[in-house]
Homo-oligomer: A and B are copies of this chain.
Amino acid sequence: MRHFQDELEALQQRLLQMAGVVESAIHCSVRSLVNRDEKEAVRVLELEDRINHMEIEIDDHTTRLMTLYQPMARDMRFLTAAIKINSDLERMGDLAVNVAQRSLSLIRQPPVKPLVDIPHMADLVESMVQRSLDAFVRRDGAVARQVLESDDAVDDLKDAIYDELVHFMELDPSTVRRAVDLMFVAHNLERIADHATNIGEDVLYLVKGIDVRHHAENRG
């Protein structure tokens, strides 16, 4: 049996590898939309396959460590955080696939408008995902809190995007299908940000042993 601390370290490395694949999937899905590039969208589907395998493997690894080593409270907190972060990462992968599918539909039709706000929102969301993982690796509560704060900015951007798209549809009904696709792109990006926020909350719990989940909703 490997030393328990080595096992925990290996598990964390594996989660980070998975996060890297998930970040690539998100990035490809947005690039596919912005550059109207089908190949990037197809790449997301391939990455999702890898993500799904990694999720199962990490879950098994975590459950095995819980059972074999009978960890103390602190390590058990890390292991339950690992299960949750694993699940959040896998769902981000699914959401990137949703974006890629909307992109494939949009590529086949003329553009509604030049895309400005959605790439901007995507940048912010991608940075939240990265920072949530940084916070996890460094057990950095301050960075985790920044992630929670960014979530409000993402919500504001999403609301602005919705309003603009509703306006387009009301003015020109021929844009309805495409505008609905874009609305769901923004919605999926917002949900990715929600999962990054979940990770930030898990990090705060891990660092301080406090549960901010439902207080976080009342902040600001």
The interface of chain A, by Cβ under 8 A from chain B, is 52-53, 55-56, 59, 62-63, 66-67, 70-73, 76-77, 80, 83-84, 87, 162, 166, 169-171, 173-174, 176-177, 180, 183-184, 187, 211, 213-214
Contacts and interface: CB of A to CB of B under 8 A. Distances in A.
B214 A52 contact: yes
Interface centre among A52, A67, A214 (most CB of B within 10 A): A67
Q: Is the interface of A mostly helix, strand, loop or mixed?
A: helix
A59 B111 CA distance: 46
Q: What is the copy number of this chain in the assembly? A: 2
A66 B162 CA distance: 44
A213 B67 contact: no
B166 A177 contact: yes
Contacts of A171: 173
A21 to B, nearest CB: 15
A177 B169 CA distance: 9
Contact of A56 (B71, B80, B170, B211): B211
A71 B162 CA distance: 49
B76 A66 contact: yes
A184 B76 CA distance: 38
A166 B187 CA distance: 17
Contacts of A173: 169-171, 173
